[in-house]
């Protein structure tokens, strides 16, 4: 049976396994952390070009996070030593920034999580570097649609399975593979909390969504099979068949009537290349 736990301002938080229900101060905190995440991702667009290295992008994320009064939640997280994850082409997630150069035609996901005044704003976008093949662009667009369809299904009375179903049914129309090995998660005062938000599912199944639940929706969609493997560095997850993989992530909060997107771009750049 699903357990819920109401969090009042100042309550200590820990991973209890229960789903936390936050109040107005939670929404306030997540709006600020989420806005900073979105501003960082907005600013990255012009830097994600052929010739740039992923460690240069990581440095920009670090500087902007600190300038915004936050710290990168990934820095020191389970031994991770960077300010973001950068996942290029067949890398599904958790790509480690380094001297690697971005090339013309790459699809590049950057995932940031500023921790601001105790709140985690977790968001990622997939950018197009230079001239990207139509097939790859299509994958990126459909992956964004999958995330947004998942968010549309996020409202009180619906269940987590409704979100997974919305995502899976859209992706599979295009014969894409939905990654099973990584999922969305509760977010808020903790970086990764209950519940697990799986990106596949059956309607009407899973925990019921209630106002005050905060979680991410972050589908990873592959042109090929859903299967992934983690490289010897212990982090980098790649598609087993080396097919391209795209991802988008928002942090959201369930309201009385639907969901509030905490990490929405103030500049309308949520799908980077779609904006003017």
Cβ at position 23, least distance to Co ion in Å: 22
Q: Does 216 bind Co ion (CB under 5 A)?
A: yes
Cβ closer to ligand MF3: 80 or 174? 80
Binding site for ligand MF3 (CB under 6 A): 74, 77-78, 80, 85, 94, 111, 113, 122, 216, 218, 235, 249
Q: How far is CA 95 from CA 81, 108, 188, 192, in A?
A: 12, 10, 23, 18
Longest Cα pair distance anywhere in the chain, in angstroms?
51
Question: Does 111 participate in binding Co ion (rule CB under 5 A)?
Answer: yes
Say which entry of Co ion, ligand MF3, none residue 94 contacts (CB below 5 to 8 A, set by partner kind): ligand MF3
Nearest distance, CB of residue 175 and Co ion, angstroms: 26
| Binding residues with Co ion: total (CB under 5 A) | 4
Q: Are 151 and 252 in contact (CB under 8 A)?
A: yes
Nearer CB in complex with ligand MF3: 132/187: 187
Among ligand MF3, Co ion, none, the one that 174 touches (CB under a kind-dependent 5 to 8 A) is none
Q: DSSP state, 249? A: B
Regarding 263 and contact with Co ion (CB under 5 A), the answer is: no
- Picked from ligand MF3, Co ion, none, the partner binding residue 85 (CB below 5 to 8 A depending on kind) is ligand MF3
Q: Look at strands 4-6 and 19-21 and give their pairing.
A: parallel
Nearest approach in angstroms of CB 229 to ligand MF3 is: 16
3-state secondary structure of 140: helix
Between CA 105 and CA 155 the distance in angstroms is: 37
CB 219 within 8 A of CB 171: yes
Q: Which residues contact 262 (CB under 8 A, 6 or more apart)?
A: 30, 31, 33, 34, 35, 121, 214, 250, 251, 252, 253
Q: Which residues bind Co ion (CB under 5 A)?
A: 111, 122, 216, 249
């Amino acid at each position: 049976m699903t357990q819920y736990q109401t969090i009042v301002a100042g309550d200590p938080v820990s991973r209890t396994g229960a789903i936390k229900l936050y109040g107005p101060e939670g929404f306030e905190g997540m709006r600020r952390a989420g806005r900073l995440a979105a501003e960082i991702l907005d600013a990255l667009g012009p830097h994600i070009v052929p010739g740039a290295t992923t460690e240069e992008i990581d440095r920009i994320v670090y500087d902007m996070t600190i300038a915004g009064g936050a710290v990168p939640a990934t820095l020191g997280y389970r031994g991770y030593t960077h300010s973001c994850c950068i996942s290029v082409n067949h890398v599904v997630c958790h790509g480690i920034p380094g001297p690697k150069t971005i090339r013309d035609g790459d699809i590049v996901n950057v995932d940031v999580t500023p921790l601001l005044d105790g709140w985690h704003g977790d968001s990622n976008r997939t950018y197009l570097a230079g001239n990207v093949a139509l097939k790859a662009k299509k994958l990126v667009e459909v992956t964004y649609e999958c995330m947004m369809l998942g968010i549309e299904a996020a409202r009180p009375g619906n269940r987590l399975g409704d979100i997974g179903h919305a995502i899976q049914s859209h992706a599979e129309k295009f014969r894409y593979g939905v990654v099973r090995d990584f999922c969305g998660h509760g977010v808020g005062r903790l970086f990764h909390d209950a519940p697990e938000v799986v990106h596949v599912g059956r309607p009407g199944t899973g925990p019921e969504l209630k106002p005050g639940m905060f979680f991410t929706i972050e589908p990873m969609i592959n042109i090929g099979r859903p299967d992934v493997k983690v490289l010897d560095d212990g982090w980098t997850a790649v598609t087993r068949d080396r097919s391209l993989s795209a991802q988008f992530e928002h942090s959201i909060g369930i309201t009385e009537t639907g969901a509030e997107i905490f990490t929405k771009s103030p500049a309308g750049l949520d799908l980077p290349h779609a904006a003017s």
